[in-house]
């Protein structure tokens, strides 16, 4: 891995974190393509993205808790229920071909882009004013 590659990866990580803090997402949507560019396979990139999400959401949650924006009971119920979904999701992802998984991910990006563009035209996107 060259020095310039490392710099680009760090910058993209920083950008992913900014978006995570801003939109309340984990940043995985930018981690996965960044990790692919670093040479990981689609499955490795997705799995590694999930680990990279952890420091991001711990920092983001800490700040949001400080601002009084975390409903802990709701978050914990959602998180615990999501474990069962994740068990099934890993089975599905490992059963699919990496090429199909990569294409599905690209479609996901287009869907998210469309959603964001629509929201930016019709109403304030998720966060902002209460």
Partner 1 sequence: MALKLVLIGLVTGLFSAVFGVGGGIVLVPLLIIVVGLEGKPATGTSLAAIGITALAGTILYGGEGYVEVGHAALVGLPAAVGAVAGTAVQQRVSARALALAFSVLLVAIAVWLLV
Stretch 17-46 residues interacting with partner 1 (CB under 8 A): 17-36, 38, 40, 43-46
User: Helix, strand, coil proportions of the chain in percent (round to 5)?
Assistant: 80, 0, 20
Residue 48 touching partner 1 (CB under 8 A) = yes
**Considering beta carbons, is residue 15 or 97 the nearer one to partner 1?**
15
**Interaction residues for partner 1, span 50-109 (CB under 8 A):** 50-65, 67, 69-72, 74-90, 92-94, 101-109
**Helix 28-37 crosses helix 98-122 at what angle (to 10 degrees)?**
140
Q: How many angstroms separate the CA atoms of 27 and 17, rounded?
A: 6
**Considering beta carbons, is residue 4 or 67 the nearer one to partner 1?**
67
In the complex, the smallest distance separating the C-beta of residue 8 from partner 1, rounded to whole angstroms, is: 10
Residue 117 touching partner 1 (CB under 8 A) = yes
Could you tell me if 1 and 38 are in contact, meaning their C-beta atoms sit under 8 angstroms apart? yes
């Amino acid at each position: 891995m060259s020095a310039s590659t490392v710099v680009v990866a760090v910058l993209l990580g920083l950008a992913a974190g900014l978006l995570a803090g801003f939109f309340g997402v984990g940043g995985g949507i930018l981690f996965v393509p960044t990790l692919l560019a670093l040479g990981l396979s689609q499955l490795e990139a997705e799995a590694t993205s999930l680990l990279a999400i952890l420091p991001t959401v711990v920092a983001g949650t800490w700040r949001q808790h400080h601002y009084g924006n975390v409903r802990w009971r709701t978050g914990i119920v959602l998180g615990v229920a999501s474990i069962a979904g994740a068990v099934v999701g890993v089975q599905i992802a490992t059963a699919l071909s990496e090429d199909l998984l990569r294409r599905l991910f690209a479609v996901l990006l287009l869907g998210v882009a469309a959603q964001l563009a629509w929201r930016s035209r019709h109403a304030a996107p998720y966060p902002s004013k209460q």
